[in-house]
Amino acid sequence: MEAGTVEMYTTAGSLLVALMFAATLYTIFAPMLAGDKQKKRMKAVTSERDTMRRQRMDALQNQGSLRSNDDGFVKRTVDKLSLERLLAAPELRDKLMQAGYRGTRPMQTFYFFRLAAPIVLGVVGFLYFIVLNPAGWPMSRSAFATVAAALFGYYAPGIYIKNVASKRQASIMPAFPDALDLLLICVESGMSIELAFGKVAGEMATSSIELAEELSLTTAELSYLQSRRQAYENLARRNNHPGIKSVATALVQSERYGTPLGSTLRTMANENREMRIMAAEKKAAALPAKLTVPMILFFLPVLFIVILTPAAMRLGGAF
């Protein structure tokens, strides 16, 4: 029994020494066999970025070029008459982008309608107010109405673009704080900023198509532009809103100075949510003033009729 016990302990000790020797060898040679993990990680990120760039560019090509050429009547008219120089509008490209129109074709269409609309409305006003003159106005009033119609035609394209941009911004801003929350979750989970923007763009498509479009375009710009700063500045330029501008500025500063992106996005999400609450409170505070005129015109007369009609009927019966 004693010899067997000694042999068992000897075998166990040998196995333990062998395991410790194997663990020591693994500890020494494992880093050499694993290679450079950081290099592999950077290579994977670069490969993913190239793949995403190809996917975005293929999607843009399938949808049509953002700067497609238009050799039709509108382009020929704009180029022949040099309308871009004669009817130049300040910051027209930014205003069109804020309304969702990108490329050279919307600019040419804008200049064409800025030329055609005053002519058409001026001719219609001349025929209606001066030639027909159904109201019997004097010549001075008819001429004034004709000139007013022509001026309205000149400013009508700008008014239309402004209204479209306002409606588009009203669709984007209610969903923007939620998009920042999703972006924060994606960034803190380890995603790159390009992948995070692409993921959030897909998730926000059901809430706001316009916001999903802006985030997708920002994802494409982050993929193929040399500087991320330019992509963030383009996002702020396409959406002329203080909340989006502050987010773009914070992202630029985080890119430049290396501040944590998660804390930046969390702060910006809280600020945009507070801005949304303040906008709702502002609308609620303005509601009594807006209801004053409808109440005077519609509610109070009906209320007086309901209250005074029985008394008037009794007085009529008494007399």
- Distance, in Å, from the CA atom of 175 to the CA atom of 177, rounded to the nearest integer, reads 6
Query: Are 178 and 266 in a shared domain?
Result: yes
What integer pLDDT is reported at residue 64 of this predicted model? 44
Residue 46 lies in a domain: no
List, for residues 236-288, the tens digit of each pLDDT value. Answer: 888 888 888 888 888 888 888 877 888 888 888 888 888 888 888 888 888 88
Statement: the pTM of the whole predicted model exceeds 0.75: no
Same domain, 125 and 209: no
When comparing pLDDT for 121 and 280, which is higher?
Answer: 121
Q: What is the band of 51 on the pLDDT scale with cuts at 50, 70, 90?
A: low
Q: Which single residue is written with the structure tokens 């910006």?
A: 268
**Could you tell me if 128 and 185 lie in one domain?**
no
- Count of structural domains within the chain: 2
- The pair of structure tokens assigned to 15 is 């196995």
pLDDT in tens, 225-250: 888 888 898 888 888 888 888 888 88
pLDDT in tens, 141-153: 889 999 999 999 9
Token pair, residue 34, equals 């694993």
- Would you state the pLDDT for residue 55? 64
Q: CA of 146: how far to CAs of 8, 112, 121, 125, in Å?
A: 114, 21, 8, 5
Query: Does some domain include residue 65?
Result: no
The whole domain housing 254 covers: 174-278
271 and 212 share one domain: yes
On whether both 150 and 234 belong to a single domain, the answer is no
CB of 178 within 8 A of CB of 216? no
SS3 string, the chain, reads CHHHHHHHHHHHHHHHHHHHHHHHHHHHHHHHHHCCHHHHHHHHHHHHHHHHHHHHHHHHHHHCCCCCCCCCHHHHHHHHHCHHHHCCCCCHHHHHHHCCCCCHHHHHHHHHHHHHHHHHHHHHHHHHHHHHCCCCCCHHHHHHHHHHHHHHHHHHHHHHHHHHHHHHHHHHHHHHHHHHHHHHHHHHCCCCHHHHHHHHHHHCCCCCHHHHHHHHHHHHHHHHCCCHHHHHHHHHHHCCCHHHHHHHHHHHHHHHHCCCHHHHHHHHHHHHHHHHHHHHHHHHHHHHHHHHHHHHHHHHHHHHHHHHHHHHHHHHHHC
Residue 179 and residue 254 share a domain:
yes
Choose one of 160, 193, 223: the last residue of a domain. Answer: 160
For the segment 144-172, the average pLDDT, to the nearest whole number, is 90
Q: Is residue 200 part of a domain?
A: yes
Q: Which of 104, 132, 160 is the last residue of a domain?
A: 160
Residue 149 maps to a domain: yes
Contact assessment for residue 149 and residue 121, using Cβ atoms and an 8 Å cutoff: yes
